[in-house]
Amino acid sequence: MKQFVLVLLCLSSLSGSQLFSLKSGQSNRLIHEDSPYLKQHVNNPVDWYPWGEEALNKAKEEHKLIFLSIGYSTCHWCHVMVYESFEDKTIASLINKDFIAIKVDREELPHLDKHYQNLHLLMKNRSGGWPLTAILTEDAKPFFIGTYFPPEDTYNQEGLATLLPRLARDYKNNRKNILVQALKTETAMDKSNRAVFKPVNIDLSIADKSFSGLQEQFDEVYYGFSRRPKFPEASKIGLLFDLDSLGIKGAGDMAVRTLRAMALHGLYDQVEGGFFRYSVDAAWEIPHFEKMLYTNAELIPLYVKAYERSGDEMYEEIVHETIAMLETRFEADGLYYSASDADFGHQEGGYFIYSYEEMDEVLSHVGKMEKETLTELLGLSEEGNFEGYTHINFYADQRPAGFEKIRPFLKAIRQNRHYPFIDTKINTAWNAMVIEALFIASELEHGYQVLAEERMRSLLEKMYLKGVLYHQSLPEKIPVQKALLEDYAFVASALLEGYAHNLDKKYLFLAGRLCDEAIQKFYDGSFWYLSDDGLKVHADMSDKYYTAPVNKMLAALLKLASIKGERKYLIIVQEELQRKSTLLKKEPHHFPSGIQTLLREKKGYITLKSDKEGLIKAKQKIKKIRYPFVLIKEENDLKAFLACDIQQCFSVDTDVEKVQESIEKR
Q: What tens digit of pLDDT does each residue of 570-597 get?
A: 999 999 999 999 999 999 999 999 999 9
Q: Record the pTM.
A: 0.93
Give the list of residues 6+ apart from residue 557 with CB closer than 8 angstroms, or none.
515, 569, 570, 572, 573
- CA dist 503 and 636 (Å) reads 11
* Residue 316 C-alpha from the chain's centroid: 23
| Residue 66 CA, distance from chain mean position | 28
Question: What's the rounded mean pLDDT across residues 46-62?
Answer: 96
pLDDT digits (tens, 9 = 90+) for 422-462: 999 999 999 999 999 999 999 999 999 999 999 999 999 99
The Cα-based distances of 79 to 74, 84, 131, 158, 347 in angstroms read 8, 9, 9, 19, 11
75 and 494 in contact (C-beta within 8 Å)? no
**If we measure between CA atoms, which residue out of 55, 13, 17 comes closest to residue 139?**
55
At 226 the pLDDT is 83
Q: What is the DSSP letter of 653?
A: E
User: Which element (helix H / strand E) includes 370?
Assistant: helix 368-377
Q: How many other CB atoms sit within 10 Å of the CB of residue 180?
A: 12
pLDDT at 266 over 60: yes
Q: Is 400 a residue whose pLDDT tops 80?
A: yes
Q: Report the pLDDT value the prediction gives residue 12, as an integer from 0 to 100.
A: 29
Higher pLDDT, 545 or 498: 498
Which phi and psi (to 5°) does residue 63 adopt?
55, 50
How many Cα atoms sit within 13 Å of 320 on the Cβ side?
10
State the pLDDT at residue 26: 66
- Span 299-358, pLDDT tens digits: 999 999 999 999 999 999 999 999 999 999 999 999 999 999 998 777 889 999 999 999
CB-hemisphere CA count at 13 Å for 650?
Answer: 15
Residue 190: pLDDT band with limits 50, 70, 90: confident
The span from the CA of 168 to the CA of 176, in Å, is 13
